[in-house]
Amino acid sequence: MTETTKQYRLTLVRSVAGRLKNHQACVRGLGLRRMNHSVIVPGTPENCGMINKVSYLLCVEEL
């Protein structure tokens, strides 16, 4: 990983209850466990795809 790799702070601001199973899996795959839980993830193409899919559930900040 290079020093110029973007990182994102993700916070789960909406519940995953009643959402599509693949959206729940994306949230779990990003490392988020519960409401208002925050994680820092690298800006890889895989992570960016999951962030885009469930962006309506997240607060995303670029670091």
Q: What is the mean pLDDT of residues 50-63?
A: 96
- Alpha-carbon distance of 24 to 10, in angstroms, equals 15
Q: Which residue has the higher pLDDT, 41 or 3?
A: 41
Q: Alpha carbon of 21 to those of 27, 30, 41, 48: distances in Å? A: 10, 14, 22, 19
Task: Check pLDDT > 60 for residue 61.
Answer: yes
- pTM for this predicted structure: 0.88
